[in-house]
Amino acid sequence: MTADLGARIERLALGPEHIEKQRFVKVARPLLAAFGYRPKTETAALEKLAASEPSPESLQAAWAELEENVELVERATIVAGRPLVAYAAWLRRVWELLARASQEGKAPAAGSVGLLPPLGFATEVPETTRALELELALVDHLLDGARTETRLLGRRRQQLLAARQVLLDVAAALPLDARAVTARSEYVAQQIAWLDRLQAAGLQPDVDVVHQARQASRTGDVRLLYAALRALEEGSDAELGPAASRALGGLRGCHPLEIHESLERSAKESFGAMAFYDDATRACALAVDGAFELGAPMTPVRIEEERRRVRAVRFPTPAMQLVPARGPEDLRDALISDPRALLLDLAAGRLLSRRFIREEVERHSRVLMTSEVRVYVLDGSTSMRGNRSRMRDAIVLAELATLRKRLEDPGHVRPMLYFRYFTEELGDLIRASNPTDVDQAIASICATEREGGTDIEKALLSSFATIAQAKANDPALALAQIVLVTDGRAPVDEAKVTQVRESLGELPIGVSVIALGEENAVLRALVARQRTRGERAFYHFMDDAQLEGICSGAQLGPSLHADVANDFTPPEQEIGLLLDELELIARRRDQGALDDLELEADARREAGLEPGDITEGERARTEALYRDRRALEQRFARWFPEPPAAPRTVADDDEEEAVYVALAAIAEVLDVVGGTELHRRADAIALIERLLPEARLTPAVYARAVSSGSARIATALRAVHHAVAGRAA
């Protein structure tokens, strides 16, 4: 069954003409197409398998479910008359999960992308959406990369934010399967909320968590040690997770707090002494960063001079380079080619040792920040009572807490925030631009109960006038953003709203919407039209079931904190041995990855062979983490050559179109995912390698296309190079 299903899934990506047993579907195709037939896949057996240890019965049920899903997608592919990229890619991931579970006898890792429903379109869409389909494929690749990144919290966050941004962009353009979008949105929100809590507890995003655990033990910071071990335990790493659990077991004087106590402590670490009027609102505030893409209240205009200093450190960071060994303490990390010449090489300065690199930036210039007038327009109607109003208030409370931190060290900026509540009548516009304003605003939100009808249109039009006035009083307030938070229970004249908005001239007011509990089609269309024009706007919808999960705290992760006595000291011998085990696992894996690359490269070079089974993406990531820049730059140049100085027009064909679309999608994602230049190069290689099957391209066809001299592909290559370098195309 395994091999046969795998072959059928591969044929799905080739197109309907490669699918067998299609006579009946061909006959029924016109009828099925008329009814907008879409595959309704199931994941119940797969989810049950992931929730417990696999048994022959549960594995058999999951394989049977997969076979049924393959049949559904085969039928839908024939009806559509083209490959369904998202469904084919999802089926392949599920097949890989089940094959691994059958071989290893282990359940699929929690959070595996294959456990989520397939990310496809809710209705039939034209073939011109090929670029969007590839972007959808990138969402799951980014989520999978985030799941496997357990040691660098900042790296994990970047992958999650990029996945969320791509998902928002495509969802704004075309109707996606609501169940699939909700599942991914919830997963991203949960993971970012968990990372926020870890960082608020003191963990650094750009330093290896294993190293942070060791350092916390050496300095006696038991709370930070506990948080680091919990971060590793909750990760999906099959070795580090159990080892971290054993280390936590060695902290017998630490007793985990109940989840509500842990969330209360996380709120204090995140928001300071801010008072919340109930536990549910506190939980909502902790979830805001993960649940919504609110944009930045400050936009930097860089007029700066900065000095970057690269410092070699012994603890793991995202980058590494080779430096001359200085003494015996460097021998354990040295590249030893001939043990007999070890002392001579050390004395002569020829012996190279691996050192992790941490970049430190010293800025000596002005960095001008342009204030974005953020106006929150908050629905205070009676229909918002309950969890909807808790989330509404939590969004502004979280923003106010962030504003207060910015005001403590404002630098060259003047941050401010506007918000107003509305029913059928407009409430007072509240302006927060100093600590006193912030404290009064927080007190007002927590002390006032609201009810009444709803007039969204009046609230929007009045907010336009407010922003125009702010612009007139302060020319530095050059950008504007309205964030409407509502359940949408009111008629809105889109034409009137658009007319008034455009009458403001050059003031680029973006209207973003957070829909809680219910949706308003006019508001969704208003945001979609802005995004099609390249304007800054977002649309988030959260139904009442999701709100209930957040308010209960269930979406924020497990308990993170322990009840630690002030005089508690972990047993050094026992906990030290357990931490040694963690470091040994991490070090063995890092060293093994490097050694495997070197040995494999040498052996294949001697035999005159091409690279072996290890993927180009794995090589690139290893080189980004553990090797010098040169090898990664060479690998990047093979995949993404410099575009020709004088590109020529090439006749369009399917292959050229597919390559252009794949490159454009990668360039867009790299702009979002960020990270060091080394990591962006590695990400680009890993993403193009993963996208080729979805784009129905072989490496040979891709190589031919990028070297063809096509002007269109040259433009896309240039965009990738600019994104890697971190500059605008």
Q: Nearest-5° angle of CA 71, CA 72, CA 76?
A: 115
Tokens standing for residue 147:
């799941």
Tokens standing for residue 352:
């190279």
DSSP for 343-396, written as a single string: HHHHHHT--EEEEEEEEEEEE-S-EEEEEEEEEEEEE-SGGGTTHHHHHHHHHH
Report the DSSP pairing between strands 539-542 and 509-516.
Answer: parallel
pLDDT tens digit sequence for 362-421 = 654 444 445 566 789 999 999 999 999 999 999 999 999 888 887 876 655 567 788 999
Res 283: pLDDT: 94
Res 483: pLDDT: 92
Task: From 667, 666, 727, 728, select the one nearest 695 (Cα to Cα).
Answer: 666
Distance, in Å, from the CA atom of 347 to the CA atom of 326, rounded to the nearest integer, reads 8
In the chain, what is the straight-line distance between the N-terminal and C-terminal CA atoms, in Å?
48
Which residues does residue 629 pair with via DSSP β-bridges, in sequence order?
Answer: none
Tokens standing for residue 506:
């050059």
Res 303: pLDDT: 41
The SS3 call for residue 197 is helix
Distance, in Å, from the CA atom of 117 to the CA atom of 178, rounded to the nearest integer, reads 10
Tokens 């390559």, residue located:
659
DSSP 309: E
Res 263: pLDDT: 94
Res 571: pLDDT: 73
Interacting residues of 164 by C-beta distance below 8 A, sequence separation 6+: 185, 188, 293
Interacting residues of 206 by C-beta distance below 8 A, sequence separation 6+: 152, 154, 317, 318, 358
The SS3 call for residue 36 is coil
Distance, in Å, from the CA atom of 475 to the CA atom of 62, rounded to the nearest integer, reads 61
Interacting residues of 50 by C-beta distance below 8 A, sequence separation 6+: 107, 108, 109, 110, 112, 115
Distances in Å between the Cα of 601 and the Cα atoms of 14, 304, 313, 594, 596 are: 33, 43, 28, 11, 8
Res 599: pLDDT: 45
How large is the angle between the packed helices 677-694 and 85-104, nearest 10 degrees? Answer: 100
pTM above 0.75, yes or no: yes
Res 338: pLDDT: 76
What residue ranges of the chain have pLDDT lower than 70? 1, 20-38, 109-111, 122-132, 173, 295-310, 314-315, 359-373, 409-414, 471-472, 474-479, 505-508, 589-631, 648-652, 674, 727-729
